[in-house]
Amino acid sequence: RTTRQATIRPARQPTSSLRRSFPAVAPDPRGVVPVTTPTDKLPPQDREAEKSVLGSLIRDNRVYDDIAQVLRAEDFYFDAHQKIYSCIASLIGSSKPCDALILFEEAIARGWQKEITAPYLAELWDYSPTAANAKYHAGIVKAKARRRGVIHLCMEFMRDSYDEFEP
């Protein structure tokens, strides 16, 4: 594949909302600005909502059925949270209890003790004093995952457009 130059559009003043979304690019002497994308932004995610869901699951395994209808491990943005949720799903799916100690032992068995530490599991336990709002927080995590999915698709379309890919 050959690398192509980005399409260049005539310069114009961006609206105020675009100024916040896209990095500022100075026009070149010909009066054109290269097309830019907001790739320097962090993808949509909510660490607190993810921690709340995981803490709720550790605290009260009975909410797993409600959460499993909404979330998959891939919906979590942070890798450690994906792994923790995978361990929880595996344990509860096998009709085993899941508390911080059992979860840590499962992480060790999978070789994930560097990503999933006992102090972090204790932090998750403390982070969610009740499991009452677990489904609500799971909805937030799912909404952020959907937004990341849309962004990924748009980036794929943009890349294919620059490569002049025809579906």
pLDDT tens track for 78-97: 999 999 999 999 999 999 99
Residue 70 CA to residue 134 CA, distance in Å, equals 11
Is the pLDDT confidence value at 19 over 70? no
pLDDT of 76 over the 50 cut: yes
The pLDDT of residue 110: 97
The pLDDT > 90 percentage for the chain reads: 67
- pLDDT per residue as tens digits for the range 131-152: 999 999 999 999 999 999 999 9
17, pLDDT greater than 90: no
pTM metric for this prediction? 0.74
Residue 106 or 3, more confident: 106
pLDDT at 41 over 80: yes
